[in-house]
Amino acid sequence: MIGGERRWDVAGHAPAASIASEDTALPIEGKTAVNLPVGELWRLFADVPRWPEWIPCMFWARVTGGELRVGARLVWAFNAIKPAYLYKLPAMARIVACEPERRVTWEVTLPGFHALHSYTFESTGAESSAFGSWEVAEGPAYKLLRPFWLAHFRYVRDESLRAAAKLRRSGQNGA
């Protein structure tokens, strides 16, 4: 920590893929156990258009070129944090790191808002794995709406981890 700031970098990638923040609430992160081999978990996750089928916070999702890879653009929309809230939150990001069966990281860059979000994948045994979510943000628009963004990041983390934990060998949600 230098001068009160912490810096997060996406190793081996462009300088644009780093964030410095004094926000002690960041990163928003978590991890869960999944009853699937890491390869199967990755295959389910890599099917971006199907995210809304098993991740409840997702309304719609696509990736340019149809596959997760560095440089691809993700375009998606989130469901509202609470069903009574009548909005969908659109998002667009550039994938800045992609290591199949290990992690995918994307970067959102808008005027006054810059965020990095990673999902991580880890083998914990022949039939099990761990799935993680990690997110940081910075910028005047982030600071202005900080309570909303922190709630949104926690919502995405919690819903993603809860959904992954319910996945079973058949690839269906266990709910």
Predicted confidence (pLDDT) per residue in 67-86, tens digit: 999 999 999 999 999 999 99
* Model confidence band, residue 173 (pLDDT cutoffs 50, 70, 90): very low
Whole-prediction pTM value?
0.87
The whole-number average pLDDT for the span 119-131 is: 97
Angle at 80 between CA 130 and CA 33, to 5 degrees: 10
Q: How far apart are CA 128 and CA 167, in angstroms?
A: 11
Name the token pair of 2: 């230098």
Which pLDDT belongs to residue 4? 55
Domain 28-166's class? alpha beta
- pLDDT at residue 15 is higher than 70: no
Please give the biggest Cα pair distance in the chain: 50
Q: How do the domains of the chain map onto residue ranges?
A: 28-166
pLDDT exceeds cutoff 70 at 116: yes
Q: What is the pLDDT of residue 20?
A: 80
Does residue 58 surpass a pLDDT of 60?
yes
